[in-house]
Amino acid sequence: MAKVRIHPKTCRAAVFEAPGTPMRIREFDVPQALPPGSALCRIRLSTICGSDLHTIAGRRSEPVPAILGHESVGEIVAYGPGAHYWNGEPLQLGDRVSWTIMAFCGDCFFCGKRLPQKCVRLRKYGHTSTDIWPGLTGGYAEYIYLFPGTGIFRVPPALADKVVAPANCALSTALAAFEAIGGVASGESVLISGAGLLGVYLAVLAREAGANPVMIADMNPARAEAVCRFGVDATFAQTAEPADVAAWARTTCSGKGVDVAFEACGDPRAATASLDALRIGGRLLVAGMVAPGSQFPVDGHVLIRKCLTIRGIHNYHPVHLGQAIDFLVSTAGKYPYAELVSPVVGLDDIQSAIAYATKGQSLRVGIQCGDSPS
């Protein structure tokens, strides 16, 4: 049966209407009666993902008007009949939760192929028009509606909101990337292009897998230096020229080449450098170049003669979010995860938060949508 805590009839949200236009704080009706399998959450904290910055700048197209934001942690205040966690247990009012960035049907061809992120009836949070009921489907709001087919996970008390909020995007994607490339064995060398949040999580995963060395290349010297606290052995921030990056990586690996490379920055030059840096039999995972027209040359002769593997990954399966939460718990205290989100501002200050995030001064800026501590 449906269960409901007392919650307001209306709430506020920041609405994106067009690139170059400030977001507008609007009131929305909060759904009072929920369909089977759905849930309503009060958002405690959301973080600004780089994909949102691309949308705001007009570099990617999204339905408008929309409530952006897909990295969030919240509290269950209502749910419809049959609503449950990913593990099958019924939802509980008041639980602190994280959820997948998408809802999916579970029945179509792609869901059957373990690609729910490509579901033919896909709903993505932060990427849906407010014209679609109930409108509250993005993280920059006081409340969010979770469609049936969303993977919902309980958040352990040990994890602060700032630590868990980005887990349903960058960390879950990093885990999917590791799985797609066949994992990283102890002693293998890893090159990561991009010291953004995805790159940071990839570095931590590589370190915990026993990789040696773990290398990151990023054109921002401050970011390259900061990631050393997350298991990185060597950084390169001198030039974006593929030949220079590849030469540095090969030298760091005693000349034999890199075992595994991850492109996590969106720059095609990084993929070119990674291919050049790989050893015979090396593996390249491409995850950052989501913009249309992102092309890099691949010499078929080199690909074949060096027996290389190239794999792309986009988003993740719900099991990866569960793994992400477990990973954060198991490595708590080893890495300063909470420092990845700073500053945290209120919903009314979202424009200043976007401006700060756009300058690249922090990997994530937090939006405290209500009165919850982060």
From the candidate CATH numbers 3.90.550.10, 3.90.180.10, 2.40.128.640, 3.30.1490.20, the one assigned to the domain spanning 3-158+332-368: 3.90.180.10
pTM score of the predicted model: 0.96
CATH superfamily of 173-312: NAD(P)-binding Rossmann-like Domain (3.40.50.720)
Contact in structure between 11 and 30 (CB atoms under 8 Å): yes
Instruction: Kindly provide the residue ranges of all beta strands, DSSP E only, lying in 147-253, ordered along the sequence.
Output: 150-154, 190-193, 214-217, 234-236
For tokens 């952006």, what's the residue?
68
Extents of the domains making up the chain: 3-158+332-368, 173-312
For residue 106, report the phi and psi dihedrals to the nearest 5 degrees: 80, -5
Asked if domains 3-158+332-368 and 173-312 share a fold, the reply is no
CA-based max dimension of the chain: 65
For residue 117, report the phi and psi dihedrals to the nearest 5 degrees: -70, -10
Helix (H, G, I), strand (E, B) or coil at 132: coil
Q: At what angle do helices 268-277 and 242-252 cross, to 10 degrees?
A: 40
Cβ-Cβ contacts under 8 Å for 112 (sequence gap 6 or more): none
Per-residue tokens: 156: 């352990």
Strand partners, 73: 45
Cβ-Cβ contacts under 8 Å for 24 (sequence gap 6 or more): 14, 15, 17
Instruction: From first to last of the 374 residues of the chain, give the pLDDT tens digit.
Output: 677 777 899 999 999 999 989 999 999 999 999 999 999 999 999 999 999 999 999 988 889 999 999 999 999 999 999 999 999 999 999 999 999 999 999 999 999 999 999 999 999 999 999 999 999 999 999 999 999 999 999 999 999 999 999 999 999 999 999 999 999 999 999 999 999 999 999 999 999 999 999 999 999 998 898 999 999 999 999 887 999 999 999 999 999 999 999 999 999 999 999 999 999 999 999 999 988 889 999 999 999 999 999 999 999 999 999 999 999 999 999 999 999 999 999 999 999 999 999 998 899 999 998 765 44
Single out the residue of 158, 29, 129, 278 nearest to residue 138, CA to CA.
129
Q: Specify the pLDDT at position 374.
A: 44
Q: Specify the pLDDT at position 371.
A: 66
| 35 CB neighbour count, 10 Å cutoff | 15
For tokens 């991009």, what's the residue?
194
Query: How far is 360 from 366, CA to CA, in rounded Å?
Result: 14
Q: Specify the pLDDT at position 1.
A: 65
DSSP tally for the chain: helices H, then strands E: 11, 17
